[in-house]
Amino acid sequence: MAEPIKVVVTGAAGQIAYSLLYMISKGDVFGQDQPLVLHLLDIPPMMGVLEGVVMELMDCALPLLRSVVPTADPEVAFKDVSAAFLVGAMPRKQGMERRDLLAANVKIFQVQGEALDRNAKKDVKVLVVGNPANTNAMVCSRFAPSIPKENFSAMTRLDQNRAQAQVAAKVGVPVGDISNVIIWGNHSSTQYPDATHALVNKNGSETNAAAEVKDDCWFKNVFVETVQKRGASVIAARKMSSAMSAAKAAADHMKDWFMGTPKGKFVSMGVMSDGSYGAPKDVIFSFPVTIENCKWKIVQGLEIDDFSQKMINNTGKELEEERTEAFNIISNKL
């Protein structure tokens, strides 16, 4: 069997981590032959709760999980890690302005970027889940200059999974028969869920989902809005934000990054933008990507209609604004 790899999960005492840790530890992400050492980072007041999580992980008796290191020290948490799930973030509290939220998170992701830079393996794959995920990932990468920018990503996979499920329900097929749904841009309400290129597998042959449904109005209105507002709908019903589905999406994202995507299929990841499809450069923008040998590549040459371009431009503009605010916060601090 392979040597164990070290994997860190931050926000490890929180609700997404509670589902995610089990998925990682039973081999859903890095494979059934890959033993693991889990590093769990949370803040000092949560160390008691984290102790309970460690006990439960032990009680799961998972053969791949070799040891668990709970800590409140980022230097310990990021030591020699090959994969980092950055789930912990400052949540919006009552009366908090958007700028205050961003300022609190810039601070967290600066500290974690610097700790990754000093301690992690140089080929570490970093997935930022904590919101605002795209801008947090950009900040983290900026403070980890010795790690390639390509190794930082933000999670839009939950949005992709939601979109895929909506299309499957509309077409009337199992969710696994739908592929190539795209999330463009920011993991926020400006994201653009795009089913223009989505495929339906029907008895082994693939057809275009939009051609199958023949309801352009549904795709442009109901579908887009349902996916954009799905997080809010879950909060309204559950009185808590999505956690099980967020954990599953984080596991899917990292698994594909390590294992690759099947031929002809793509997935959406927030990655450093090169300006493809008119997106602003140097923001973490969600694109369709293919993955081979642990490296992602933005899918090129997709046809973009006027409606899609407008939506891509709009979410790009929001990311530029967030970047400006984040840079202002950083330069005021320096």
Cβ proximity to ligand NAD, 17 vs 167, nearer residue? 17
- The structure tokens 């709009």 sit at 314
Q: E-assigned strands of 13-92?
A: 36-41, 65-71, 83-86
Q: Which of 70, 130, 288, 316 binds ligand NAD (CB under 6 A)?
A: 130
Smallest gap from Cβ 45 to ligand NAD, in A, equals 7
Q: Which of 7, 8, 14, 39 binds ligand NAD (CB under 6 A)?
A: 14
Q: Which of 9, 40, 65, 129 binds ligand NAD (CB under 6 A)?
A: 129
Applying the rule CB under 6 A, the residues between 101 and 120 that interact with ligand NAD are 108
Interatomic CA distance for residues 156 and 253, integer angstroms: 9
- The structure tokens 């559950």 sit at 238
197 is catalytic: no
Q: Among residues 39, 187, 197, 253, which one is catalytic?
A: 187
Binding flag, residue 286, ligand NAD (CB under 6 A): no
Binding flag, residue 89, ligand NAD (CB under 6 A): yes
Binding flag, residue 42, ligand NAD (CB under 6 A): yes
Residue 197 in tokens: 């290129």
Measured between alpha carbons, how far is residue 245 from residues 11, 19, 115, 160, 261 in Å? 16, 9, 28, 11, 20
Q: Which of 147, 246, 279, 329 binds ligand NAD (CB under 6 A)?
A: 246
Q: CA 259, 88, 229: angle at the middle one, nearest 5?
A: 80
User: Which residues touch 236 (CB under 8 Å, ≥6 apart)?
Assistant: none
State the CB neighbour count (10 A cutoff) for residue 308. Answer: 19
Letters for 142-171 (x = contact with ligand NAD by CB under 6 A, - = none) are -------------x--x-------------
User: Which residues touch 4 (CB under 8 Å, ≥6 apart)?
Assistant: 34, 35, 36, 37, 66
Letters for 287-326 (x = contact with ligand NAD by CB under 6 A, - = none) are ----------------------------------------
Residue 101 in tokens: 């939220």
Q: Which of 7, 8, 13, 40 binds ligand NAD (CB under 6 A)?
A: 13
Which residues contribute to the site for ligand NAD (CB under 6 A)?
10-11, 13-17, 41-43, 46, 87-91, 108, 129-131, 133, 155, 158, 187, 241-243, 246
